[in-house]
Amino acid sequence: MRSETAPAIRLEDYQPPAYRIDTVHLDVLLDPAATKITATLSIARTQGTEAGAPLVLDGDELTLAGLKLNGEDLPGSAYVAAPDRIEIQSPPAAPFELTIETEINPDANTKLMGLFRSSGTYCTQCEAEGFRRITYFLDRPDVLAVYTTRIEAPKAECPVLLGNGNRLEEGPVEGTDRHYAIWHDPHPKPAYLFALVAGDLAEVPDRFITSSGKDVALNIYVEHGKESLCAWAMDSLKRSMRWDEDVFDREYDLDVFNIVAVSDFNMGAMENKGLNIFNDKYVLADPETATDQDYANIEAVIAHEYFHNWTGNRITCRDWFQLCLKEGLTVFRDQEFSADMRSRPVKRIADVRLLKSHQFPEDAGPLAHPVRPRLYHEINNFYTATVYEKGAEVVRMLKTLLGSETFRAGLDLYFQRHDGEATTIEAFLACFEEAAGTDLGQFALWYDQAGTPVVTVKTRYDSRRQTFSVSLSQEIPPVPGQKSSKPAVIPLRYGLIGPNGEDIDITTAPEGGRVEGDVIVLEKAKQEITFRDISSAPVLSLLRDFSAPVRLDHELQSEDLQFQAAQDSDPFNRWQAVQTLAMQDLVRLASLNREDKPAVPSQDVLRVLGSVLSDTSLDAALKAQALTLPSEADIAQEIGKDVDPDAIHAARKMLRQAVARQHGDILLGLARGLSGEGAYSPDADAAGKRALSNRALYYYAASGSPDAAGLVWDLFTKADNMTDRLAALTLLLHDHMPRETEAIALYKTRHETNSLAMDKWFMVQATAPGDETPAKIRSLMKLPLYEAGNPNRVRALLQSFATGNPTQFARADGTGFELIAESVLEIDKLNPQVASRLLTSFRSWRALDPQRSALAETALLRVSSCEDLSRDSRDIVDRTLQ
């Protein structure tokens, strides 16, 4: 026996709603176990709906307490009510008012969807389908209504009452200990953008004057005592608001913008109109508890949610298949914002690293889906790297193909034409077609085809004719359930590097295909581009700035890659050349290890890493990126089949040790030289220096030098910031250095009361290589500090183990898989979204060696055999095993 798979929802079945809801009045009487909601909806038939057509409202685990039509109780014979729907059989032909009473239990809501409590604070999460857990509704993004919300609660427990839009009224409820507030949001919005918050929170106020002179009150609400941790988030918010005005001419549109930080949250944050709700890890920061990466993440997530005000809220999605319409575009916008705030090349490298480590394996495994899926069983499972990150790459390609000005004109047209609408990818692309005067039919395939295209490159130089030919072909490897794919439009930014290291000026128009400026546009399955008047053999630098989300199969010689690593004018491709050289060697070493043959790292690679280390022209952050070896998971992905994680781990360790031995002096200088100058600042420059010195220490610690352990211990005990302290703690634990146990205890004593800092404590232990780790995790799960209901804690301990500790998760005795399978089953009862996310860590199971993949399959079958699996986990396990 097993739970049924939910019916498939298909894009092709889309029908406009039969009824409209124009206004919503919500009256919310808050109570921990019995909150009463009265929703008054003004409803009208849409054009084309015949009079008396049934009205079906969505619900989810709801109890109906009352139902009135135009103020009169509806007789039981006029409707059917269930926890998941109400059907009113023949509603009036003319517009009518429906009043629905429901009662819900926020304290029992462990799914963290709908109305729940986090550390006593009432808050909501309605995307994608959480509003139907509050009241019955047409819970779909193409039903846009104007909301007025009255919130009532005991004043002592909930002094702060927040809703969407502007506050109209607030005051005591006479004769009681309660008070109320009324919020009104004038902008029509779908239910997924509804929010309310009530609790005893501290307010951190600020203001922002928009470009047209509007004075906007900004507030961040946090637990009392955490006010001082909001400065960076507030600063990031103001910079985001200014940037959207400067770069996209988008101004804010309400008198207030509120942010609330909560500690129990399924995702990063939520863009509810005028009332963003955040996972507190993306708000709270000070040098003592947050790393440089945390600061960068806060800046990016604050920007992301703010930017949704235009791309998501003012213009929303017609249906959930169009999720990338808001997410891909908004990720693109937040990436551009961070690039402008920091170093553009470093940001690009970080984004591509993320894409390759998260999206590429998704696209190559059983959970592959197009940027715009055509079918889903559970929409929560489509908030993926493909929709977000690949979706952003598609927008970036549009900009590359059309040029900045035309891209901007297309986006202007989109804002102008679709403001206030729920729309589609087709409508979005039509704006760019019109602005550019081109047809984007072939480009649209990027939204519809899953799988990462492989672009194969061969070059030939003819010295007699002075021609350089580049033959290109593209192919998408087979994707389960996808018929043969069509050639995509692939913008390949390029340069021909001459022998002196400079890009050759292309004066004669290349032949054989579309070449626009420094972009080759590959449009066919196969194409050959010929460059003329090339007086000596160049090195082709292709896919500069990672201009398309493809894999490049370009058989460059090691000398060419070394030349690129030293000379390429494109910083991204310089970094890529170093990475490619390292990757080739790591794959070679892993395969020798696999066969128990002697393995020695390549001198070429050691030399290239050495020149990066000593290059004085490279900035610190870029150096740190170049010196960060591909992760074990990246190497596994490159190997692709019959993967042995132990052989990969050993290969990486060999290369690290060889770098340490060969470049010990310079590493020591860097490890000591950069950190700890002056007071901590989170800016990109200072963060880059810390990244480089910690990267140098990481290598140096593997040198075997007698002073290494002392250096790491010193950094751990003396660091004045979390970035350095955590880097040292990670080395102590992951290298099993002498005082690791003491370090774990010291860190705990210091940070015990700060849950974000303790998440890092769990994470470092969970990602430690070594046979004891699964047992260690089981004992950590018994600590009172471990809370299975807190998503951040679960992710810190279990998700980080499953995705960041390949040798232990994929242990040859199966106990790593068992630990995660058991945990999924347990967490699934509390919070299906967190469980199903954890379950996706099995997605590359078929690429493992036969023994390990058999063990993974056993663990997956165990999950699958559970009778009452959630829809979320059922969907993932079914597709993973398919």
Binding residues for Zn ion, rule: CB under 5 A, are: 327, 330
Q: Which does 272 bind (CB under 5 to 8 A by kind): ligand TRP, Zn ion, none?
A: none
CB of 327 to ligand TRP, least distance (A): 6
Query: Which run of H or E residues covers position 28?
Result: strand 19-29
End-to-end CA distance of the chain: 18
Task: For residue 333, give the nearest of 241, 261, 200 by alpha carbon.
Answer: 241
Shortest spacing between CB 383 and Zn ion, in angstroms: 9
Residue 279 binding target from ligand TRP, Zn ion, none, CB below 5 to 8 Å by type: none
For 258-314, give the DSSP string: EEEEES--SSSEE--TTEEEEEGGGT---TTT--HHHHHHHHHHHHHHHHTTTBTTT
CB-wise, 127 or 560, nearer to Zn ion?
Answer: 127
Characterise 642 by phi-psi region: left (phi > 0), alpha (psi -120 to 50), beta (else).
Answer: left
Q: Closer CB to ligand TRP, residue 270 or residue 529?
A: 270
Nearer to Zn ion, 150 or 358 (CB): 358
As measured in angstroms, the least distance from the Cβ of 126 to ligand TRP is 8
**Surface-to-core class of residue 471, CB atoms within 10 Å of its CB (0-12 exposed, 13-18 middle, 19+ buried):** middle
DSSP β-bridge partners for residue 623: none
Whether a cis peptide bond, with omega within 30° of 0, leads into 128 is: yes
Class of residue 145 by CB neighbours under 10 A (exposed 0-12, middle 13-18, buried 19+) = buried
> Of the two residues 392 and 712, which places its CB atom closer to Zn ion in the complex?
392
By beta-carbon proximity to ligand TRP, the closer residue of 117 and 304 is: 304
CA distances from 707 to 519, 668, 688, 719 (A): 50, 10, 25, 18
Which residues fall within 8 angstroms of residue 389, CB to CB, at 6 or more apart?
331, 351, 354, 355, 358, 359
Closer residue to ligand TRP, CB minimum distance, 100 or 196: 196
Measured CA distances, 716 to 257, 669, 730 (Å)? 40, 18, 10
For residue 187, which of 319, 327, 40, 313 has the smallest C-alpha distance? Answer: 313
Report d(CA 80, CA 680) in Å as an integer: 62
Q: Which is nearer to Zn ion, 96 or 192 (CB)?
A: 192
Minimum separation from the CB atom of position 387 to ligand TRP (A): 9
State the minimum distance, in angstroms, from the CB of residue 379 to ligand TRP.
8
Element (H, E) at 436: helix 425-436
Q: Look up residue 657 and give its amino acid.
A: Q
- Establish how many alpha carbons lie within 13 A of residue 833's alpha carbon, considering only the half-sphere containing its beta carbon: 23
Q: Which is nearer to ligand TRP, 127 or 294 (CB)?
A: 127
Q: What amino acid occupies position 334? A: D
> How buried is 486 (Cβ within 10 angstroms: 0-12 exposed, 13-18 middle, 19+ buried)?
exposed
Nearer to ligand TRP, 221 or 383 (CB): 383
Residue number, 150 or 874, with CB nearest to ligand TRP: 874
Least distance in angstroms from the C-beta of 557 to Zn ion: 43
- Taking the complex as a whole, how short is the minimal distance between the CB of residue 89 and ligand TRP, in angstroms? 33
Query: What is the nearest approach in angstroms of ligand TRP to the Cβ of residue 412?
Result: 24
Among ligand TRP, Zn ion, none, residue 646 binds (CB under 5-8 Å by kind): none
CB of 231 to Zn ion, least distance (A): 24
Q: Which is nearer to Zn ion, 79 or 320 (CB)?
A: 320
Catalytic-labelled residue, pool 152, 223, 299, 305:
305
Q: Please give the residue whose beta carbon sits closest to ligand TRP in the complex.
A: 267
Active-site residue flag, 336: no
Distance from C-alpha of 620 to C-alpha of 611, rounded to nearest angstrom: 14
Residue 115 backbone dihedrals phi, psi, to 5 degrees: -95, 125
Q: Which does 128 bind (CB under 5 to 8 A by kind): Zn ion, ligand TRP, none?
A: ligand TRP
**383 contact, one of ligand TRP, Zn ion, none, CB 5-8 Å limit per kind:** ligand TRP
Consecutive H or E run containing 124: strand 121-125
Closest CA to 674 of 664, 688, 684: 688
Q: Which of 697, 686, 682, 668 is nearest to 619 (CA)?
A: 686
Beta strands 551-554 and 454-462, pairing class: parallel
Decide: 126 and 54 in contact? Cβ < 8 Å: no
Q: Interface residues with ligand TRP (CB under 6 A)? A: 125, 127-128, 266-267, 269-271, 304-305, 327, 380, 383
Instruction: Tell me which of Zn ion, ligand TRP, none is bound by residue 236, counting a contact when its beta carbon lies within the kind-specific cut-off of 5 to 8 angstroms.
Output: none
Q: What distance in Å separates the CA atoms of residue 672 and residue 708, rounded to the nearest whole number?
A: 11
Least spacing, CB of residue 589 vs ligand TRP, in Å: 39
CB 165 within 8 Å of CB 24: no
Specify whether the CB–CB gap between 643 and 848 falls below 8 A. Answer: yes
Radius of gyration of the chain (CA): 28
DSSP class per residue in 767-791: T--STTHHHHHHHHTTSTT--TT-H
Answer whether 345's CB lies under 8 Å from 571's CB: yes
Hey, which residues does 365 pair with through a beta bridge? none
Shortest reach from residue 138's CB to ligand TRP, in Å: 19
- Cα torsion angle, 796, 799, 805, 809, sign: positive
289 or 330: CB nearest Zn ion = 330
Angle at 384 (CA atoms; ends 383, 388), nearest 5 degrees: 90
Q: Decide whether 270 or 492 has the Cβ nearer to ligand TRP.
A: 270
Nearest to 832 by CA among 378, 387, 383: 378
Q: What is the largest CA-CA distance in the chain?
A: 98
Shortest spacing between CB 382 and ligand TRP, in angstroms: 9
Instruction: Output the smallest distance, CB 279 to ligand TRP, in A.
Output: 9
- Shortest CA distance to 841 belongs to which of 867, 869, 821? 821
The partner in contact with residue 323, picked from Zn ion, ligand TRP, none with C-beta cut-offs of 5 to 8 angstroms by kind, is: none
So which residues are the catalytic ones?
305
